Structure 1
Amino acid sequence: MRDIAVQVNSDFDGRLKWRSRYLIHRARRRGRTGMLLQVDLRDPPRSMSLKWCLVSVTESGRQLCSVDRTSIRKVRFIPLSPGPHPLHLEVTRHRKRRCTQTQQNVVLGQGDVLLVTCDPVQPNVFYRRSPVVDTWSAQTLQADPDT
């Protein structure tokens, strides 16, 4: 088996789930600063594959959130304080040696929302082609200066 690579994009491809759009709108309306994590897992919860994955985000050793195939919601909003944040983005597979990780340093202002999406490599996908690399995208949505 070959190793799994990771790809990080600085721009977002535009595919947002309904819940993501709702949480961004609510955070902006309330003036909250934070990170929105959207994970595109297409592996069914009852799959018996040994290639399941866990997507997690940590900051300075503290886990902010994690999503796996048993999670009810694949979209999470995590409130963060304004300022610099060294984020560690990781996809862990059944075997620990089969994980991919990347570091993302962001500086958030008051009311900014960091939009992070993950599209990990997944097994047994027949209705949409799974990517060959773990794809992360991160984009900072600036606060509206008029509000």
Structure 2
Amino acid sequence: MRDGAVQVKSDFDGRLKWRSRYLVHRARRRGQTGLLLQVDLRDPPRSMSLKWCLVSVTESGRQLCSVDRTSIRKVRFITLPPGPHPLHFEVTRHRKRRSTQVQQNVVLGKGDVLLVTCDPVQPNVFYRRSPAVDSWSAQILHADPNA
């Protein structure tokens, strides 16, 4: 596995799925602090390929959430307590040498939502692409102080 092969961008392109927007709105309404993971997998669930991938987020060895091609929903929201969190973003593939991982430390305040999107290299392309092309973006949506 390669550490740091993939970079986490702090600028967010703004493309959110409908479910992601709904979960962010619900978390803000309830005053929850947490992490929202949105994964853009375009591999069909009935594909017979062994080129599967698993996208997961862990904290201190404890898996917070994961998404693969058999997941019904590609968007997950996990509540987290306010404070510092050493997060580990990982894309695991059938071949370990093609897997990538990134470590990032974030500090969440009360009511903040960490929005993480992942667009892994799709396994069903006929040409080879480096796993370093896996793209992650992370942004903290701060709580509204007027609310």
For 2:24 and 2:125, the matched residues in 1 are separated by 29
Q: Which residue of 1 aligns with 2:34?
A: 34
Map 1:1-147 → 2, pairs under 5 A: 5-124=5-124, 133-147=133-147
For 1:123 and 1:59, the matched residues in 2 are separated by 26
Is contact 1:42-1:125 (8 Å) kept?
no
Unaligned 5+ runs, structure 2: none
How far did 1:73 drift? 0.4
Unaligned 5+ runs, structure 1: none
For 2:97 and 2:123, the matched residues in 1 are separated by 17
Aligned partner of residue 7 in structure 2, secondary structure: strand
Q: If the length of structure 1 is used for normalisation, what is the TM-score? A: 0.90
For 1:67 and 1:95, the matched residues in 2 are separated by 18
How far did 1:45 drift? 0.7
Aligned CA-pair RMSD: 1.5
Once the two structures are superposed, residues 48-95 of structure 1 have per-residue CA deviations (whole angstroms, 9 ceiling, x without a partner) of 222110000000000000100000000000000000000000000011
Aligned partner of residue 6 in structure 1, secondary structure: coil
**Which stretches of structure 1, 4 residues or more, deviate above 4 A after TM superposition?**
none
Equivalent AA in structure 1 for residue 96 of structure 2: K
Identity %: 88
For 2:33 and 2:52, the matched residues in 1 are separated by 31
Q: If the length of structure 2 is used for normalisation, what is the TM-score? A: 0.90
Between the two proteins, the alignment pairs up a number of residues equal to 139
